[in-house]
Amino acid sequence: METRSFLTLEDVGREDIREILDLARAFAEGRVRDALEGKTVCLAFFEASTRTAVSFELAASRSGAHVISLSEKGSAIAKGESLIDTVVTLDRLGADAIVLRHQASGAAALASRHTSAPVINAGDGCGQHPTQALLDLYALCEALGGLEGLQGRRAAIVGDVLHSRVARSVIPAFLQAGMEVALVAPRTLLPPDGGAFDLPVLSSVDEALEWSADVLYMLRLQKERMTGARIPSVAEYARFYSVSRRHLESGALVMHPGPVNRGVEISGDVVLDASSLIPDQVASGVCVRSAVLALSTGAAQSIAA
Amino acid sequence: MVGDSYSRELVIRHPHVFDPATGLDGIMDVRLSSGRIAEVGEGLRGPRELDADGLHLFPGFVDIHAHWRTPGREDEEDIQSGSAAAAAGGFTGVVMMPNTDPIVDRPVVVSGLVSRVERESRVRARVSAALHVGLAGERLTEMRLLKQAGAFCVSDDGLGTASAGVLRNGMLYARSAQLPVILHCEDHTLATGVVHDGVAASLAGLPGSPASAEDAATATALILAAETGAKVHITHVSTALSAALVGFLRGRADVTADTTPHHLTLTEDLVSTLEGLYRVNPPLRPEHDRAGLELAVRDGVLDFVATDHAPHASEEKELPIEEAAPGFLGHETAFAALYTDLVLGSRLSLKRLVEAMSCAPGRWVGTGGSLAVGAPADLTLVDLSEEWTVGRGTLVSRSSNSPFLGRTLKGRVVGTIVGGEPVHDRTGAKFGARA
């Protein structure tokens, strides 16, 4: 059975995305069950996580996999074992897939070079968070009528692009889906000149709506970045880069990978508004991650067969 | 107080109109109407006329570096006295620096100052807010809110430049806020003295600040300006090397630079007097630096002149040089000092001087600097033949810490007009409502 690691969205094409989203829908609708029966999925989280860890655990267990969770606490990770030694150990113990969350960019790729089991990147530093971007696409497709419904839509990615692994996965995902993407952030939170993305840079949520954004994708501002070096104050940040109720009149959809800083990226009364896809994003995580696990482990081939 | 709606018409008759921006150069008449230049030609007449025979008419001078000490030290200067001093020096536009008490680092301070300027200033005064909270080089100010409150630019002037990493973020954020950054380039790990670290300092036993304190900070600032794309203006360049660095990196960055009348005309020799009056920051430099600055202004490597008008109470200047506050008055003597020493000394053309005092800084602030028809009627009338001696009695500023006290200079501003309205009038013709 052919296996493949799932590390980044940078090189994933439109048809690959369609395949994953279709399979995810099959999982969601119950057309596929127990696809991972007999598989062992190891969750190796070197960095704290709530929703991603729970989501992967449910995605694996509901599909019939045996799940082993390693967290920072109570495992060799806490004892200072190296990344490579940990994943090699899991590999030799017979894992069929290793889901890795790590604080350093490139960790998943490094791990994958030392294992025979596929490695699924559950977030590496400021690098990539590919399953997040896929669940975002899934939720958007549900809202806008499938992948075709995304064609030509405009998404504004708002906030700390510079330090965001979510942005680095969401941007290529949205572009593959045929969307137009703009970045909305002060230049202290952007790669130089928008970086390799070569996207328009806008200076406020208001400007994003003038640009006719259909989607406002809000990034989390880390607490330690809220005052001082890159952002003068939460007040100024919120004034220009926060979504509030008045922005919803445009009909734009609001997304956020969570966890939300209410009153910073999004005013509190918007988080659970009808315009907000945030709960749908979370809900989409399980079926999308089941699909990714099935494709990575090769289990999807037997479904097709 | 400054408005473009001043409706009364005025014809200035027979001045020598001299404007490098439009190329106007000759005796002609100028009609001002509704705050703008309405017509330039010959034989213009009107109900209100000013006989300007024998006077030169320039685009109004613009000084992007002034300390009007307001709020906080109104005993040294306030908006009325500062703007009167500016008008007396022929300046129609000024940028006020934020190192006041309180520091201009919050939107409410900016908006308060902007509304006071509208009421109290004779000239177009723009407010620079701080780049960092408390000028401390740590936390960014709320630049976008400051801009909405009316800030024209940001600067930590008075204190030197922050560490390179902090300055880089400041430039990036200022670019996002679309605010120009004025930089006083000084590395505090090097600038530990009170005067230039040169011959005069060593003879007098004074702690010196080396030229490298400015040069290293200038190089850093220029490199960061090039990398970040921020609009950066380097103020009071005082060394030949810093000027050369500006020239070297000019093509790669959105950068401009100025030097001061005192750095173009005075040298560290004055330090040997040990008088507190002559302490200034950046310090007066050796003759080779002064000569380098002169060359840089002549060649346009330094875009313009700014005075760093810095009033101080006498108790802050009549002290041993080590204990005196640094800073000179600048507005009222700028043109005459430069005209006397450089133009009459055949070292700088009058054209280049007017470019450096009017056209280039006018372009930088976006108003003035040209006598084109339709431009705001911001004008300066100068009698190039008048000799005058700088004395406490001649100064309009509330302070008197001019390094040119006692000097006899040639060329004197006799009239200043802002938005068509006379704000300074020594013509004797009583062409304005206010003198």
On the CB side of B309, CA atoms within 13 Å amount to: 37
Cα distance between residue A118 and residue A300, in whole Å: 14
Cα distance between residue B20 and residue B63, in whole Å: 18
On the CB side of B434, CA atoms within 13 Å amount to: 15
Q: A81: phi > 0 → left, psi -120 to 50 → alpha, else beta; which? A: beta
Instruction: Please indicate, yes or no, if residue A9 is contained in any of the structural domains.
Output: no
Cα distance between residue A131 and residue A121, in whole Å: 8
**B4: pLDDT strictly greater than 70:** no
Asked if residue B378 lies in contact with residue B92, where contact means CB atoms within 8 angstroms, the answer is yes
CB contact under 8 A, B172 and A236: no
pLDDT tens readout for residues A151-174? 999 999 999 999 999 999 999 999
pLDDT tens readout for residues B328-346? 999 999 999 999 999 999 9
B391 has a chain A CB within 8 A of its CB:
no
Question: Does one domain contain both A119 and A138?
Answer: no
Q: Searching chain B, which residue's CA lies closest to the CA of residue A192?
A: B228
Which of A187, A192, A227 is closest, CB to CB, to B173?
A: A187
Other C-beta atoms closer than 10 Å to the C-beta of A121 total: 28
Instruction: Please indicate, yes or no, if residue A210 is contained in any of the structural domains.
Output: yes
A-chain residues within 8 Å CB-CB of B229?
Answer: 193
Strands (E), B238-367: 254-259, 304-305
The identity of residue A108, as a single letter, is A
Pairing, β B208-209 against β B195-196: parallel
Question: Does one domain contain both A24 and A106?
Answer: yes
Question: Does one domain contain both A35 and A169?
Answer: no
DSSP B105-142: -SHHHHHHHHHHHHHH-SSEEEEEEPSBGGG-SSSBP-
B15: preceding bond cis by omega (within 30 degrees) = no
Full domain range(s) for residue A122 = 14-128+285-304
Token pair listed for B235: 């103020």
pLDDT tens readout for residues B289-335? 999 999 999 999 999 999 999 999 999 999 999 999 999 999 999 99
Instruction: Please indicate, yes or no, if residue A178 is contained in any of the structural domains.
Output: yes
B-chain residues within 8 Å CB-CB of A231?
Answer: 140
Cα distance between residue B375 and residue A270, in whole Å: 49
Question: Nearest 5°: CA angle at B258, between B122 and B155?
Answer: 70
Q: Which SS3 state, helix, strand or coil, does residue A297 take?
A: helix
Question: pLDDT over 70 for what percent of chain B?
Answer: 97
Q: What is the pLDDT of residue B433?
A: 36
A228 has a chain B CB within 8 A of its CB:
yes
Question: pLDDT over 70 for what percent of chain A?
Answer: 94
pLDDT tens readout for residues B72-89? 999 999 999 999 999 999
Considering only CA atoms, which of B303, B322, B324 is closest in space to residue B314? B324
CA distance B128 to chain A (A): 17
Give me the mean pLDDT over the A82-106 stretch. 94
CB contact under 8 A, B144 and A230: no
A-chain residues within 8 Å CB-CB of B173?
Answer: 186-188, 230, 232
Under the banding of pLDDT at 50, 70 and 90, the label for residue A229 is confident
Q: Please name every residue paired with A256 in a beta bridge, in sequence order, or none if there are none.
A: none
CB contact under 8 A, B176 and A186: yes
Cα distance between residue B308 and residue B238, in whole Å: 12
Q: What is the pLDDT of residue A247?
A: 94
Which of A187, A230, A231 is closest, CB to CB, to B175?
A: A187
B149 has a chain A CB within 8 A of its CB:
no
Asked if residue A184 lies in contact with residue A144, where contact means CB atoms within 8 angstroms, the answer is no
Other C-beta atoms closer than 10 Å to the C-beta of A231 total: 24
Asked if residue B13 lies in contact with residue B50, where contact means CB atoms within 8 angstroms, the answer is yes
Q: Which SS3 state, helix, strand or coil, does residue A198 take?
A: coil
Question: Does one domain contain both A148 and A261?
Answer: yes
Helix then strand count (H, E) for chain A reads 11, 9
The identity of residue B107, as a single letter, is P
Which of B145, B172, B173 is closest, CB to CB, to A239?
A: B145
Q: B229: phi > 0 → left, psi -120 to 50 → alpha, else beta; which? A: left
Asked if residue B128 lies in contact with residue B157, where contact means CB atoms within 8 angstroms, the answer is yes
Return the CATH number of the domain spanning residue range B10-57+376-425.
2.30.40.10
Question: Does one domain contain both A263 and A154?
Answer: yes
Residues of chain B with CATH 3.20.20.140: 60-365
Other C-beta atoms closer than 10 Å to the C-beta of A105 total: 14
Token pair listed for B245: 């660095």
Asked if residue B60 lies in contact with residue B47, where contact means CB atoms within 8 angstroms, the answer is no
CATH number for A145: 3.40.50.1370
A245 has a chain B CB within 8 A of its CB:
no
Which of B142, B173, B229 is closest, CB to CB, to A235?
A: B142
Other C-beta atoms closer than 10 Å to the C-beta of B139 total: 17
Q: Which of B78, B156, B308, B425 is catalytic?
A: B308
Token pair listed for A128: 């990539």
Tally the residues of chain B. Answer: 435
pLDDT tens readout for residues B180-195? 999 999 999 999 999 9
Cα diameter, chain B: 64
pLDDT tens readout for residues B231-261? 999 999 999 999 999 999 999 999 999 999 9
User: In sequence order, which ranges of B321-426 are alpha helices (DSSP H)?
Assistant: 334-338, 350-354, 360-365
Domains identified in chain A, total number: 2
Cα distance between residue A253 and residue A275, in whole Å: 5
Residues of chain B with CATH 2.30.40.10: 10-57+376-425
Cα-only R_g, chain B: 21
Instruction: Please indicate, yes or no, if residue A3 is contained in any of the structural domains.
Output: no
Cα distance between residue B80 and residue B76, in whole Å: 12
Residue B206 φ then ψ, to 5° = -95, 145
CA distance B268 to chain A (A): 38
CB contact under 8 A, A229 and B169: yes
Question: Does one domain contain both A204 and A251?
Answer: yes
Q: Is B75 a known active-site residue?
A: no
Question: Does one domain contain both A154 and A109?
Answer: no
**B60: pLDDT strictly greater than 60:** yes
Under the banding of pLDDT at 50, 70 and 90, the label for residue A304 is low
Which of B138, B173, B227 is closest, CB to CB, to A188?
A: B173
DSSP code at position A119? E
Q: What is the pLDDT of residue A72?
A: 66
ipTM of the predicted assembly exceeds 0.90: no
Considering only CA atoms, which of B342, B267, B333 is closest in space to residue B297? B342
Under the banding of pLDDT at 50, 70 and 90, the label for residue A194 is low
Which residue is associated with the tokens 């009167």? B84
B133 has a chain A CB within 8 A of its CB:
yes
Token pair listed for B271: 């330090």
Asked if residue A124 lies in contact with residue A105, where contact means CB atoms within 8 angstroms, the answer is yes
Cα distance between residue A56 and residue A74, in whole Å: 20
Query: B168-181: string of b/e by CB count within 10 Å (b at 16+)?
Result: bbbbbbbbbbebbb
Which residue is associated with the tokens 């996002």? B176
Cβ neighbours of residue B76 closer than 8 Å, sequence gap 6 or more:
B69, B311, B312, B313, B398, B399
Tally C-beta pairs within 8 A across A and B. Answer: 47
CB contact under 8 A, A228 and B140: yes
B60-365: which CATH number, 3.40.50.1390, 3.20.20.140, 3.40.50.970, 3.90.1170.50?
3.20.20.140
Question: pLDDT over 90 for what percent of chain B?
Answer: 92
CB contact under 8 A, B133 and A232: yes
Under the banding of pLDDT at 50, 70 and 90, the label for residue B434 is very low
Cα-only R_g, chain A: 19
Q: Does this model's pTM top 0.90?
A: yes
A33 has a chain B CB within 8 A of its CB:
no
| End-to-end Cα spacing for chain A | 12
Which residue is associated with the tokens 């020594």? B426
Residue B340 φ then ψ, to 5° = -65, -50
Q: Please name every residue paired with B328 in a beta bridge, in sequence order, or none if there are none.
A: B309
B319 has a chain A CB within 8 A of its CB:
no
**A131: pLDDT strictly greater than 80:** yes
B-chain residues within 8 Å CB-CB of A239?
Answer: 144-145
